[in-house]
Structure formats: structure tokens, C-alpha cells
Amino acid sequence: MTHTIQPNNPETTPAPDATDIPASAISAPRPAASAVPAALKRRIPKYSDLAPLMQFKKPEFSKEARLRRASTIWDLRDMAKRRTPQAPFDYTDGAAEGEITLRRAREAFLDIEFRPGILRNVSSIDLSTDILGKPSRLPVGIAPTGFTRMMQSEGEYAGSQAAEAAGIPYTLSTMGTASIEDVAAAAPNGRNWFQLYLWTDRDRSLELIERAAKAGNDTLMVTVDTAVAGARLRDVRNGMTIPPALTIKTVLDASYRPAWWFNFLTHEPLTFASLSRYTGTVADLINSMFDPTLTFEDLDWLRETWKGKLVVKGIQTVEDARKVVDHGADGVVLSNHGGRQLDRAPIPFHLLPGVKEAFTKDNSDAAIMLDTGIMGGADIIAALALGADFTLIGRAYLYGLMAGGRAGVDRTLQILEKDMARTMALLGVSKISELTPDHVRLLTK
């Protein structure tokens, strides 16, 4: 049988009779609206409710409070820029030509992916390591920096004493503004290294080497990437001289940073580790000192002359890393001079895996150190995972110095230590020796 379904038509379909509607439908009540929980009802707050929330702290303007508020090296950099005249700040902050190398070096640490392990016991983190035959409480040391008391009057003294307190090495530069003997006296229990530029005058170089040994420096770090001075354009534009010249521009700049000038003018004039006084541009000083004729024979002479540990800084290819070890180096520093010499130079962090592989193949126990671009503890941990034995910081330390003298350098090291410990815990490792290349993946673009 076929059933035809007719559509409802309100004009033809009769309304249902009341007797057709079930009684239950007529008598059932409509559902009530949900009750509002008491905790969500509006009310006027009581003072007793507000009192625990009203914890206004007294404003603190001291140097110590300001440094405590710095959570990153970038925070210290911002503080340093506010407190330091443009010329010395730019000398620290800048690099050669278009500053491409420096930018790429920092980006290299950003273009990675950490690969953490889970369910590991990381209740205790040990950041200690050995470098060049002696222990270091942290896997980072202070790199050699020139004209350091120009950045802040405490200069090398603040750096060496902070390193001594932290249990890490400190490296004094040939271009440092404190003598080898004075730095040794300021940090008598520290591990002091000396960085050497081989001069055209070998007798002057030999004098520095003998002074460094007599002062107790156990490591000599020779820098080899400075045949001539790089084109540091910020210094050119600022008219950077040693010591800073009082021009109309610098006087106006000083009016915003009186503390720097007060410290600079009321302390002993700049003296150097390698010469007593100098007046002129930075580039002229460098070009007058550096020897563009250096060869591996000079490295052989240095190895015969220096009886302690010998490190070669400025290595930028795998081949040169292997070659300097063949000529007696106990370690290498993969470095492009912080991007301050050759722009578009190789990036040390990118070079690291190749050097590690080559040294492993050669059965070499030479130390691999790295600098350039490090602005946080995670950068250091990434470098160690990819094969570095140790790292060095230059700008990061100087930002702290400019931000607050010795206390600022201490804060730099505190920030890095906290960063390193947290990164290792999150990676699932409790000591440096547990880091492997499997913990880091280089991202490809």
C-alpha cells in the first residue's frame, strides 16, 4: 500500500483540539535558569581582602638594585649604553664594515634546536670542567679585550677579580689598560692567562712573554687574525682615539653621562700592558704594533720560547686548526675576533663540528675553545654539546663592566651560570661530560 504524505498547510490543517494534547505537557514546569555560584556574584571588596595584595615595594635606585633587575646580557647591554659615552660603547658594541659577521655569529646560536631527554635526575647540576690541565668552576672564561679601562674605570681589575671569585680563567690583552704585574697583584689567587700580539719588534714580544711567566700566567694565547686592523667604521665615525679626545661632540655626550667622565678623569690615566702611553687612533696603534709578516715559523719560535700552555686564537678553518696543533699548540680558539677584523668571515659556531671531527680523527687532545656571538648561557651549552671544551666571552663581560663595574661583571657571570644550569636541567643532563651533539640540531633555512 502506498502512503502519500501531504505537507502541512496552516490554512487547511485544522488546529489540534485541546483534548488531543497530553496532560503531562500542559502541567510540566519550564526548566529554571542555572544558579550563579556564590564565588561569581559581584560584591564590594573588603579591606581585609585587599590588604594581602597591597605589597608596594619602596623604589630602589642603587647600582646593586639596578643590576639585580637585569635578567639577561641584553639587559646589561641596555644599561651599559645609557651609562657610557658613544665612542667607547661603540668600540665595544661594533664590528668591522657592515657588521655582517657579528650579526651572523649571533644568529648562528638562534638557528638551533635543542633536543632534550626526559625522566633524568637533574636535581644537582655540575657546571665544572677542566681546561688546559686545570679545573674551572664554569665552562667559560673572560676573553682578552683591549683598552678596557676606557669602557669603565675599574677595567681589567674588575674583570680579573670577578673571574677569580667565580673560579674561571681571566685573559689579559696585550692592548689591556693595566700591566701584567698589576693584574696579577689584583687577583693573586686567580688563574691568569696572557694574550700576545707578536710585534715586529721581537725583543719587545720576548719581554712581554718573560713578564707574563714571571707574574704566574700559566697560558699564553697568541692572536693570529690581525695582520692589519679591520675597518671598524663606528670608530672612524666617532673619531675614536686613545685616550678619548675632548671635542664638542664628546663634551655634549658627557653631559648625559657625567658619572663616566668623573670616573675617567679622577682615576689614573690609561696605562697599557705593553707600552706606557699612547695618543692616537685605535687603527694607527694596531697597525704600528701588528706584524703582517707572521708565519708558522714564528709560531715554532713561540713554542720554543714559552714553557707553559700555548693557545692560538683566531682560527677560522679546519685546516689551520690542525696545522697550529702540528706546530705545538695545546689548544685553539675558534674566533673571528668578534667580527672586528674580516667582515663575512667564517662563523666559529658553524666551524666547530668540523674541527671536532678533525681532532678526533687525528687523536688530538688539543683543547677547542670558542668565542664570538655568545650572549647567554644556552649559547655556551650549545657550543659544548657540539664539541667545544671551553668558551670565552668578550662583549658580554664588557656590557656588565660598563653597566656596573666589578658588580656588573659579577652579574654577567651570575646570569650566564643560571642560564647554563637551567638549560642543562631542561636537556636532562647533570654535568658537562653528558652533553653530546645529539642534544643540538642545526636548523637549515
Question: What secondary structure, in 3-state letters, does the chain show?
Answer: CCCCCCCCCCCCCCCCCHHHCCHHHHHCCCCCCCCCCHHHCCCCCCHHHHHHHCCCCCCCCCHHHHHHCCCCHHHHHHHHHHHCCHHHHHHHHCCCCCCHHHHHHHHHHHCEEECCCCCCCCCCCECCEEECCEEECCCEEECCCCCHHHHCCCHHHHHHHHHHHHCCEEEECCCCCCCHHHHHHHCCCCEEEEEECCECCHHHHHHHHHHHHHCCCCEEEEECCCCCCCCCHHHHHHCCEECCCCCHHHHHHHCCCHHHHHHHHHCCCCCCCCCCCCCEEHHHHHHHHECCCCCHHHHHHHHHHCCCEEEEEEECCHHHHHHHHHCCCCEEEECCHHHCCCCCCCCHHHHHHHHHHHHHHCCCCCEEEECCCCCCHHHHHHHHHCCCCEEEECHHHHHHHHHHHHHHHHHHHHHHHHHHHHHHHHHCCCEHHHCCHHHEEECCC
d(CA 266, CA 418): 36
Is residue 149 predicted with pLDDT exceeding 70? yes
Position of cell 705545538?
A: 328
Q: Out of 113-122, 156-165, 175-184, 222-231, which region has the weakest mean confidence (pLDDT)?
A: 222-231
pLDDT band of 296, cuts 50, 70, 90 = very high
What is the pLDDT of the chain when averaged over all its residues? 87
* 240 vs 134: CA distance, rounded Å: 39
Over pLDDT 90: what percentage of the chain?
A: 63
- For residue 262, pLDDT over 90 is answered with no
Q: Other C-beta atoms within 10 Å of 103: how many? A: 14
Section 419-433 average pLDDT: 97
Higher pLDDT, 76 or 36: 76
Least trusted range by pLDDT, from 107-111, 175-179, 428-432: 175-179
Report whether 328 contacts 366 (CB < 8 A): no
Looking at residue 119, its pLDDT comes to: 93
For 363-381, what is each residue's pLDDT tens digit? 999 999 999 999 999 999 9
Q: Active site includes 337?
A: yes
The pLDDT of residue 243 = 60
Least confident of 5-14, 310-319, 380-389, 394-403: 5-14
* Average pLDDT of the residues in 281-307: 82
Say yes or no to pLDDT of 194 above 90: yes
- Top pLDDT among 247 and 93 is at 93
Confidence of residue 3 (pLDDT cuts 50, 70, 90): very low
The active-site residue out of 3, 267, 337, 439 is 337
Instruction: Round to whole Å and give the CA distance between 380 and 366.
Output: 19
Q: Report residue 367 as a C-alpha cell.
A: 683543547
At residue 82, the pLDDT reads 93
Choose between 231 and 329: higher pLDDT: 329
Which pLDDT value is given to residue 33? Answer: 63
Residue 357: predicted pLDDT: 97
Between 196-200, 242-246, 258-262, 318-322, the lowest mean confidence (pLDDT) is in 242-246
Does the structure show a pLDDT above 60 at 105?
Answer: yes
177-188: average pLDDT: 94
Q: Which CATH superfamily is domain 83-442 in?
A: Aldolase class I (3.20.20.70)
Q: Read off the pLDDT band of 2 (50, 70, 90).
A: very low
- State yes or no: pLDDT of 417 exceeds 90: yes
pLDDT at residue number 228: 78
Q: What is the pLDDT of residue 226?
A: 84
Q: Which residue has the higher pLDDT, 232 or 362?
A: 362
Q: What is the average pLDDT across 167-196? A: 95
